[in-house]
Amino acid sequence: MPEETKLLKVVAGIVLRGRTALFAQRPAGKSYAGQWEFPGGKAEPGECLCEALQRELMEELRIRPLKFRLWKAITKSYTRTRIRLYFYIIPEFEGTPNACEGQQIAWLLPQHALDLPLLAADVPIVRALAFEIERC
């Protein structure tokens, strides 16, 4: 890896309600605005992944995960950055999701979310989620 390549850690929360998951649309002004994703964001320096997950879900939705488990991790490479994305499944949470950043949010069956313009990295994750939810 070239020395200048940075590794950014990103957490994404797959918040479940029954057989649906909570999806969010990236608001205007952010990169990839208009595309859909799981709520989350970059871990801050010195922050562990769990802390980042809790902080992002509180900032974006005002919810607190009560149970969560790391489900999948993938790496995306750009010219000068690599992003390591950590997807957490959250079967229990406290609070009512509130779109605090002006983003649209929606509870969707994963197979219906595949009809939305999803972030490219999320497409295989959402496909796998449809199977995972059926298994539970």
Ligand X SMILES: Nc1nc2c([nH]c(=O)n2[C@@H]2O[C@H](COP(=O)(O)OP(=O)(O)OP(=O)(O)O)[C@@H](O)[C@H]2O)c(=O)[nH]1
Q: Which parts of this chain interact with ligand X (CB under 6 A)? A: 10, 12, 30-32, 37-38, 40-42, 83, 85, 119, 121-122
As measured in angstroms, the least distance from the Cβ of 119 to ligand X is: 4
As measured in angstroms, the least distance from the Cβ of 120 to ligand X is: 7
CB nearer to ligand X: pick between 61 and 119: 119
CB nearer to ligand X: pick between 40 and 97: 40
Burial of 83 (0-12, 13-18, 19+ CB in 10 A): middle
As measured in angstroms, the least distance from the Cβ of 59 to ligand X is: 8
Residue nearest to ligand X (CB): 41
Burial of 111 (0-12, 13-18, 19+ CB in 10 A): middle
Residue 50 tokens read as 């769990």
CB-based burial, 19-30: b 16+ in 10 Å, e otherwise? ebbbbbbbeeee
CB nearer to ligand X: pick between 38 and 68: 38
As measured in angstroms, the least distance from the Cβ of 83 to ligand X is: 5
Burial of 76 (0-12, 13-18, 19+ CB in 10 A): middle
